[in-house]
């Protein structure tokens, strides 16, 4: 029989004598006034020892265990966090569920304050505690709040039986409870019954949707694991062969998928992929509804989200292939959907993603090229990278052929007839009157083109030239013969500037400035930025429809823009994290630098456009830091050795895909061969200068000068708008004095990185490659590998005989951390297995590090089931900093390993 896997154990409480903290005692004694008096200056979410419960708990947990609703309400009003776990790994809800007499109203109050109804990931759930104590009322409240009755099912048969009994005692009229009971019964049946029995019992409920995870029972059925998994999948395919079942499932998936939580999406997508692969053809209606939903969930999230992104891209490839017979039009594929897919895919051609993700992306570009070749050219894709083509050699022949054909088309755009066919497809979405006008205009154009083949050819080639390959083609042009009634060509990419660009695309010709192949909105309403040096930035449109930002400066300052153009045209600066050069021009009074149009400055993005979820914010800010440093890595490479000299928030732009791009190279300088230092006039922006470039007789610039300012910018990003050297008036004085504060950063690794970059001695600052190899950017796998290495340090090996000074230092390090009382958080059977007949591991950090090393060295299968980084999220940062301060990282074994850590 098959089974559903659960590897989460029931923890064993930590046994350690404690003395009750005065704050906890106030709560036990029901003395709210005294608690209010003592509370100022204390962390309301800190852990405090409690002798009665032999645990370190939060104040809220103490109020819950005491059944004191008044104190609970007070603490929650004061922002007490209902999800903080105790040293013994129990949350307030766990204590409520396992303590007799706790009122249901307290449980409901905790749930209303966003307590996680499932509790901590690696322990018995509150629902299981409630069932064990026959609290049917509490089980009902937890399920209605989203608790999973199936969570940890199979870990303890006795608890499973109690949960099953109490689930079937709950009222049957409640729709939420009814659906949850079906999913629980399915989970319970899988390990007990044959696949055929399970199928016959539950097939009529296959399209039932879970009220909280929004996955269907069919998706749970299809993804059952174990020896009988293949039988489950085969019977699923048999069920899907009934087209009515398949159509209902797809229709339901389209409405459900946006609501499925992130952690459940892989399960749903794996099932959906199988369904899509079974279909011979996908209708335009399904395509136009389904594709936007999928591409919306394929968000750039870094390596952690790659499996999900890869799966979505794979599904999109299948969908595109099964839609290849359709055309673009009203009753066919929606061109806006296709263009949106193209724009979203741009994020995944970054080298930060695996070659597999990038290959899927270019494979999709190949499919899209059939429908929207002009749009793909306008996005600046001018070839398929050699690395992708090489990787495709190992793929199936049709994938290899498809990518090679795309590469040929990108490098040598097809004849205008192909593009005309696409345009005709777009025209089909217009009204009949507009179609007639377009046909007349096309006939008129054809008659005018006779005898002018040479001019037409030249113009056509220029229109098809990729944005990235464009040279300085713009020349002064002041003719106003443009047909004012005709809308200009416009490929809609930008979201922020769309209303203004729409106006620019349709405004009367007399109200814009036409300069060669550029239309520039020079009225104040089209101005999007202004610099202190008189630079103005306007919205513009190229004749090929590309949206651009046009930087204008008086001819008297010509050299600044010319300098920037020269740098941006370097092939090495054609990079995903550097603003893209488009064109350069001048007229009688001004010079113009035409650049890729971005959405926001870094300052705007951080203040107003970050994700609302705090964990998403942290991931996004870390991504931006990495992108900024990657752009600096390009500048500082030995091939070009460019000093930026004006790094600041205003010179980092965020493009339509959310990618950070370094901009403004007006005062940048290039070091000569063999040169490491530049001595020149002062440059840069106040408050964003390195120490060696402020108030000196001789101004010295090195690559390390950029590094110090980049360190200030890294702090600015991670702190969401603060400067490490203080407020504006004092910043430059503090830079000179070396006085800084990192109080807005909680992450110890982030602090370590910033301190390294902003230190006074320019010779002690890291190279940009070293910053990108800093542990702040490491994956969880790399962090765990380091902890394993740390477990072999001599002091850790001798943890049972450690000296008092070391133990005291570690004790201070452990206070209030998740790895305090670490044994209780590992599965009891794993701890017993490692300790065996030997002496027990010490409860301190040395014992933990040695335990982790031995677990992975001797019991890799058990280690694989335990997510150490989730269990102890603050362990790595504290351990790395401690080892660094102690000099352990400079010892031969660790030093050699650290040097081998690759740059991200």
| pTM, full prediction | 0.51
pLDDT band (50, 70, 90) for residue 470: very low
User: How large a percentage of the chain has pLDDT more than 90?
Assistant: 47
Contact 862, 764 (CB under 8 A): no
pLDDT at residue 479 tops 80 = no
Contact 357, 306 (CB under 8 A): yes
Cα of 229 vs its chain's centroid, Å: 32
Write down the pLDDT at residue 426: 40
What mean pLDDT do residues 242-246 have?
A: 82
Give the bridge partners for 661, in sequence order. Answer: 653
DSSP, collapsed to helix, strand or coil, labels residue 537 as strand
Contact 403, 359 (CB under 8 A): yes
Quote the CA–CA distance of 755 and 749 in Å, as a whole number.
10
What mean pLDDT do residues 233-243 have?
A: 86
Give the bridge partners for 700, in sequence order. Answer: 679
Could you tell me which residue, 815 or 874, shows the higher pLDDT? Answer: 874
What mean pLDDT do residues 468-484 have?
A: 40
Could you tell me which residue, 904 or 676, shows the higher pLDDT? Answer: 676
Could you tell me which residue, 420 or 509, shows the higher pLDDT? Answer: 509
pLDDT band (50, 70, 90) for residue 109: very high
Write down the pLDDT at residue 649: 94
pLDDT band (50, 70, 90) for residue 533: low
Give the bridge partners for 239, in sequence order. Answer: none
Quote the CA–CA distance of 824 and 273 in Å, as a whole number.
41
- The model's pLDDT over 373-404, given as tens digits with 9 standing for 90+, comes to 888 888 778 888 888 888 887 766 778 888 88
Which residues does 608 contact at the CB level (< 8 Å), separation at least 6? Answer: none
pLDDT at residue 730 tops 90 = no
pLDDT band (50, 70, 90) for residue 868: very high
pLDDT band (50, 70, 90) for residue 683: low
For the record, the structure tokens of 889 come out as: 């990282």
Which of 354, 343, 351 has the alpha carbon at shortest distance from 376?
A: 343
What mean pLDDT do residues 603-622 have?
A: 91
pLDDT at residue 677 tops 90 = no
pLDDT at residue 483 tops 70 = no
Q: What is the 3-state secondary structure (H, E, C) of 774-830?
A: CHHHCCHHHHHHHHHHHCCCHHHHCHHHCCHHHHHHHHHHHCCCCCCCHHHHCCHHH
Could you tell me which residue, 11 or 859, shows the higher pLDDT? Answer: 859
Which of 649, 646, 641 has the alpha carbon at shortest distance from 666?
A: 646
- The model's pLDDT over 837-852, given as tens digits with 9 standing for 90+, comes to 678 898 899 999 999 9
Write down the pLDDT at residue 450: 43
**Least reliable range by pLDDT among 240-244, 285-289, 425-429, 521-525:** 425-429
Which residues does 761 contact at the CB level (< 8 Å), separation at least 6? Answer: none
pLDDT band (50, 70, 90) for residue 695: low
**Least reliable range by pLDDT among 432-446, 667-681, 855-869:** 432-446
Could you tell me which residue, 5 or 783, shows the higher pLDDT? Answer: 783
Average pLDDT, the chain: 84
Write down the pLDDT at residue 186: 93
Write down the pLDDT at residue 437: 46
Cα of 174 vs its chain's centroid, Å: 38
- The model's pLDDT over 145-194, given as tens digits with 9 standing for 90+, comes to 989 888 888 778 888 899 999 998 888 777 888 999 999 999 999 988 99
Write down the pLDDT at residue 329: 63
What mean pLDDT do residues 431-459 have?
A: 43
Quote the CA–CA distance of 187 and 181 in Å, as a whole number.
10
For the record, the structure tokens of 451 come out as: 């005898």
Q: Report in angstroms the alpha-carbon separations of 176 from 118, 265, 746.
A: 16, 21, 40
- The model's pLDDT over 129-140, given as tens digits with 9 standing for 90+, comes to 999 999 999 999
Contact 11, 89 (CB under 8 A): yes
For the record, the structure tokens of 354 come out as: 């695996």
End-to-end CA gap in the chain? 44
What are the b/e assignments for 820-857, b being 16+ CB within 10 Å?
A: bbbbbbbbeebbeebeeeeeebbbbbbbbbbbbbbbbe
Write down the pLDDT at residue 820: 86
For the record, the structure tokens of 763 come out as: 């010779």
What mean pLDDT do residues 552-569 have?
A: 78
Most distant CA atoms of the chain, gap in Å: 100
pLDDT band (50, 70, 90) for residue 301: low
């Amino acid at each position: 029989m098959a089974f559903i896997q659960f590897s989460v154990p029931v923890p064993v409480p930590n046994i350690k004598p404690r003395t009750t903290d005065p704050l906890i005692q106030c709560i036990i004694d029901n003395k709210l006034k005294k608690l209010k008096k003592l509370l100022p200056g204390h962390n309301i979410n800190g852990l405090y020892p409690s002798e009665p419960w032999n645990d370190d708990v939060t104040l809220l947990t103490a109020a819950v265990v005491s059944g004191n609703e008044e104190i609970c309400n007070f603490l929650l009003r004061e922002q007490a966090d209902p999800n903080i776990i105790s040293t013994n790994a129990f949350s307030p809800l766990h204590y409520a569920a396992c303590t007799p007499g706790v009122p249901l109203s307290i449980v409901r109050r905790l749930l209303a304050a966003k307590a996680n109804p499932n509790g901590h990931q690696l322990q018995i759930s509150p629902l299981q505690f409630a069932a064990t104590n026959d609290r049917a009322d509490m089980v009902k409240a937890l399920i209605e709040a989203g608790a999973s009755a199936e969570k940890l099912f199979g870990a303890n048969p006795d608890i499973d039986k109690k949960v099953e009994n109490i689930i079937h005692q709950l009222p049957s009229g409640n729709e939420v409870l009814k659906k949850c009971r079906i999913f629980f019964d399915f989970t319970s049946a899988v390990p007990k019954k044959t696949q055929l029995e399970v199928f016959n019992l539950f097939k009529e409920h296959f399209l039932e949707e879970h009220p909280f995870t929004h996955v269907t029972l069919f998706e749970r059925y299809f993804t059952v694991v174990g020896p009988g998994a293949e039988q489950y999948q085969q019977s699923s395919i048999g069920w899907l062969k009934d087209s009515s079942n398949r159509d209902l499932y797809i229709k339901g998936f389209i409405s459900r998928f946006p609501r499925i939580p992130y952690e459940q999406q892989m399960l749903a997508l794996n099932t959906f992929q199988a369904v899509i692969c079974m279909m011979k053809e996908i209708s335009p209606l399904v395509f136009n509804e389904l594709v936007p939903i999928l591409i919306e969930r394929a968000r750039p999230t870094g390596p952690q989200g790659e499996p999900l992104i890869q799966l979505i891209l794979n599904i999109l490839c299948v969908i595109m292939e099964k839609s290849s017979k359709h055309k673009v039009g009203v009753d066919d594929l929606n061109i806006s959907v296709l263009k949106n897919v193209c724009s979203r895919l741009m994020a995944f051609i970054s080298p930060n993603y695996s070659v597999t993700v990038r290959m899927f992306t270019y494979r999709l570009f190949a499919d899209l090229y059939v429908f929207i070749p002009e749009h793909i050219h306008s996005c600046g894709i001018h070839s398929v990278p050699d690395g992708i083509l090489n990787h495709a050699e190992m793929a199936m022949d049709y994938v290899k052929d498809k990518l090679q054909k795309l590469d040929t088309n990108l490098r040598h755009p097809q004849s205008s007839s192909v593009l005309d066919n696409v345009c005709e497809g777009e025209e089909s979405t217009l009204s009949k009157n507009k179609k007639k006008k377009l046909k007349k205009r096309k006939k008129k154009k054809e008659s005018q083109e006779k005898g002018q083949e040479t001019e037409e050819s030249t113009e056509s080639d220029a229109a098809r030239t990729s944005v990235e390959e464009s040279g300085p083609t713009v020349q002064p042009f002041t003719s106003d013969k443009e047909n004012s009634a005709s809308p200009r060509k416009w490929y809609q990419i930008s979201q922020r500037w769309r209303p203004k660009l729409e106006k620019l695309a349709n405004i009367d010709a007399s109200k814009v400035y036409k300069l060669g192949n550029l239309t520039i909105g020079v009225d104040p309403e089209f101005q999007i930025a202004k610099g202190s040096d008189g630079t103005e930035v306007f919205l513009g449109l190229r004749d090929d429809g590309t949206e651009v930002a046009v930087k204008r400066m008086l001819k008297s300052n010509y050299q600044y823009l010319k300098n920037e153009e020269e740098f941006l045209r370097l092939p090495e600066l054609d990079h995903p994290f550097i603003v893209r050069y488009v064109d350069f021009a001048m007229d009688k009074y001004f010079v113009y630098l035409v650049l890729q149009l971005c959405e926001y400055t870094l300052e705007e993005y951080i203040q107003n456009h970050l994700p609302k979820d705090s964990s998403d914010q942290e991931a996004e800010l870390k991504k931006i830091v990495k992108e900024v440093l990657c752009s600096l890595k390009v500048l500082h490479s030995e091939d070009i050795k460019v000093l930026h000299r004006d790094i600041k928030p205003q010179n980092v732009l965020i493009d339509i895909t959310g990618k950070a791009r370094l901009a403004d190279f007006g005062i940048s300088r290039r070091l000569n061969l063999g040169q490491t230092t530049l001595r020149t006039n002062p440059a840069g922006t106040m408050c964003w200068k390195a120490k060696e470039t402020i108030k000196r007789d001789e101004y010295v610039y090195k690559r390390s000068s950029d590094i110090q300012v980049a360190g200030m910018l890294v702090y600015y990003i991670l702190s969401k708008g603060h400067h490490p050297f203080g407020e504006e008036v004092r910043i430059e004085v503090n830079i000179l004095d070396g006085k800084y504060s990192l109080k807005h950063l909680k992450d110890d690794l982030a602090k370590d990185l910033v301190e390294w970059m902003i230190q006074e001695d320019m010779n002690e600052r890291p190279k940009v490659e070293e910053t990108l190899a800093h542990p702040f950017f490491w994956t969880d796998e790399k962090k765990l590998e380091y902890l394993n290495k740390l477990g072999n340090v001599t002091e850790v090996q001798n943890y049972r005989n450690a000296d008092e000074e070391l133990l005291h230092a570690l004790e201070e390090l452990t206070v209030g951390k998740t790895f305090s009382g670490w044994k209780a958080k590992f599965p009891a059977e794993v701890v017993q297995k490692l300790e065996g007949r030997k002496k027990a591991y010490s409860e301190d950090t040395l014992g933990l590090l040695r335990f982790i090393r031995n677990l992975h060295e001797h019991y890799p299968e058990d280690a694989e089931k335990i997510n150490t980084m989730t269990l102890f999220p603050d362990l790595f940062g504290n351990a790395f900093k401690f080892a660094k301060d102690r000099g352990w990282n400079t010892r031969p074994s660790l030093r050699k390993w650290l040097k081998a850590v690759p740059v991200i």
